[in-house]
A = this chain, B = another copy of it.
Amino acid sequence: MADAFSAAAEPTRRRLLQLLAAGPKTVSELAEHFTATRPAISQHLAVLADAGLVTARKEGRHRHYSVVPAGIAQLRAEIDRFWSTELELLVADATKRATTHPEEHHS
């Protein structure tokens, strides 16, 4: 099984996951949101499926793709594992500094 983090990071696949999070959709429906051709979207979906993030349910001549909750949970776990305590503290420090001294942001 592929690395969920890497699979989900690609911009097109990121959007695909967001679109599918709102509910199941067919490949053609999804492809309408992109400039890329339908086969390209189909291949992206295959990558996501290989990472266990989406699955397809066959229904007539349609293929309804939907998100796999367990896969999304695993992706979440990967993100959380990456997002260590140290990084969390750094962000907390950064946002605190930004709200306290907004103009000290010399570019």
Total contacting residues, chain A, CB less than 8 A: 31
A70 close to B98 (CB less than 8 A): yes
Tell me the number of copies of this protein: 2
Most chain B beta-carbon neighbours within 10 Å: one of A5, A72, A97 = A72
A91 to B93, CA, bound (A): 28
CB distance from A13 to the nearest CB of B (A): 11
A62 contacts the other chain (Cβ, under 8 Å)? Answer: no
Contact residues in B for A32 (Cβ distance below 8 Å): none
A95 to B76, CA, bound (A): 11
Contact (A21, B72) CB under 8 Å given A3-B11, A9-B5, A11-B3: no
Q: Which residue of B lies closest to A89 (CB)?
A: B21
